[in-house]
């Protein structure tokens, strides 16, 4: 029996009002228990793709489906199945870490969490205990990112979207963040992320996509990348060698 698809781009295209074709007929799918990492240069269309899944943008053509639901047709229904961790996590600076978690959990309709649940999820994401009751405004980027992923975990959605989650994290935090994504994948989450970190992507992702000028020019599973030099492949795709 094949596992169903949780996130699916179907001939997805996006042309911005000023005429730029940011996403050009992109198709891929991410199943439960799979991490799909999008690589690609600045302006390749990664953020645009993610933003269509979140219904921050309407597609010009095609569909971004979450659990089979087209994001732009039934946005509220689609969003119930997905948690988003943004590059610049929008949290409340005057709330503590625990207060932010509690606020966003309740906003998402989760009222069952206890102080101990918040403590445990913050420890899971690696936020040291002495910071749990400190205000966010004194947090580093990595600490805020940890709160963002904690909120995503508490939402307990089957799909997780992340736009450059490890940018600006120190090497140890970046490593731990990818380990955490790996553990969420192992729990059956479908993860779609963008990143510029080729090495971490190769270590953790199950499928790598490379975007160039709006098109998905390469898509390979871990098995399909075995023995390949991903950095070399990336450079070749950037140079258009395979087109
Ligand atoms: N709001 C916008 N209006 C018009 N064009 C846009 C808008 N946002 C992005 N673009 C264009 O769409 C293309 C894709 O941008 P996008 O932000 O999706 O790239 P990206 O792959 O996320 O890049 P980066 O690695 O720099 O984050 C670029 O050519 C960009 O200039
Ligand atoms: Mg981007």
- For residues 217 and 86, the model is more confident at 217
> Which residues span the domain enclosing 39?
1-81+157-243
Specify whether 187 is located in the same domain as 67: yes
Same domain for 49 and 99?
no
Do 49 and 103 reside in the same domain of the chain? no
pLDDT greater than 50 at residue 73: yes
Q: Are both 71 and 151 inside the same structural domain? A: no
Say how far apart CA 21 and CA 55 lie, in whole Å: 18
Helices (H), the chain: 46-53, 75-79, 97-107, 115-124, 141-155, 171-186, 198-204, 222-225, 230-238
Instruction: Give the count of domains, the chain.
Output: 2
Q: Beta-carbon neighbour count of residue 242 at 10 Å? A: 11
C-alpha closest to that of 195 among 40, 7, 2:
40
Residues 165 and 146 in one domain: no
CA distances from 125 to 53, 77, 139, 180 (A): 25, 28, 15, 7
Same-domain check for residues 1 and 77: yes
Q: 238 and 122, same structural domain?
A: no
Q: Mean pLDDT throughout 38-65?
A: 97
Q: Please tell me if the CB atom of residue 19 comes closer than 6 angstroms to any atom of ligand 1.
A: no
User: What does the pLDDT read at residue 88?
Assistant: 63
pLDDT band at 1 (very low <50, low <70, confident <90, very high): very low
Q: Is residue 92 predicted with pLDDT exceeding 50?
A: yes
Whether residue 226 sits in one domain with residue 118: no
* Residue where a domain stops, chosen among 106, 129, 156: 156
pLDDT for 87 = 58
The number of the ligand 1 atom at minimal distance from the alpha carbon of 46 is 21
Q: Tell me the angle at which helices 97-107 and 141-155 cross, rounded to the nearest 10 degrees.
A: 30
Q: Confidence band (pLDDT; 50, 70, 90) for 241?
A: confident
Identify whether residues 172 and 227 lie together within a single domain.
yes
Structural contact between residues 36 and 50, judged by C-beta atoms closer than 8 angstroms: no
Digit-coded pLDDT (tens) for 197-227: 999 999 999 999 999 999 999 999 999 999 9
CATH number at residue 56: 3.40.50.300
Q: Considering the entire predicted model, what is its pTM?
A: 0.95
Q: Do 243 and 161 belong together in one domain?
A: yes
Shared-domain flag, residues 73 and 94: no
> What does the pLDDT read at residue 135?
96
* Confidence band, pLDDT 50/70/90 cuts, at residue 42: very high
Is there a single domain that holds both residue 76 and residue 166?
A: yes
Q: How many CB atoms lie within 10 A of CB 130?
A: 7
pLDDT of residue 66: 97
Q: Bigger pLDDT: 19 or 198?
A: 198
Q: Which pLDDT does position 95 carry in this prediction?
A: 96
Q: Among 9, 39, 45, 166, name the best residue to mutate to test ligand 1's pocket (greatest count of ligand atoms within 8 A of Cβ).
A: 45
Domain boundary among 140, 156, 172: 156
Q: What is the mean pLDDT of residues 229-236?
A: 95
- Is a pLDDT exceeding 70 seen at residue 21? yes
Tell me if 45 CB under 6 Å of ligand 1: yes
Ligand 1 within 6 A of 22 CB? yes
Among the candidates 103, 136, 156, a domain finishes at: 156
């Amino acid at each position: 029996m094949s596992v169903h698809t949780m996130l699916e781009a179907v001939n997805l295209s996006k042309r911005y009002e000023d005429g730029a074709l940011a996403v050009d007929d992109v198709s891929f799918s991410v199943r439960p228990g799979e991490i799909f990492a999008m690589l690609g240069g600045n302006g390749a269309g990664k953020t645009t793709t993610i933003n269509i899944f979140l219904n921050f943008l309407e597609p010009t053509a095609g569909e971004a489906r979450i659990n089979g639901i087209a994001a732009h047709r039934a946005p509220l229904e689609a969003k119930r199945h997905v948690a988003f961790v943004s590059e610049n996590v929008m949290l409340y600076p005057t709330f503590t870490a625990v207060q932010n978690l509690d606020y966003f959990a309740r906003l998402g309709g989760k009222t069952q969490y206890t102080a101990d649940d918040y403590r445990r999820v913050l420890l899971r994401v690696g936020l040291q205990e002495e910071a749990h009751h400190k205000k966010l405004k004194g947090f580093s980027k990595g600490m805020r990112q940890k709160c963002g992923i904690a909120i995503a975990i508490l939402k307990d959605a089957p799909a997780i979207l992340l736009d450059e989650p490890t940018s600006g994290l120190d090497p140890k935090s970046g490593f731990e963040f990818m380990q955490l994504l790996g553990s969420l994948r192992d729990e059956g989450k479908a993860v779609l992320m963008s990143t510029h970190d080729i090495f971490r992507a190769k270590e953790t992702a199950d499928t790598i996509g490379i975007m160039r000028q709006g098109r998905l020019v390469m898509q390979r599973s871990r098995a399909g990348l075995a023995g390949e030099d991903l950095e070399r492949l990336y450079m070749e795709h950037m140079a258009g060698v395979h087109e």
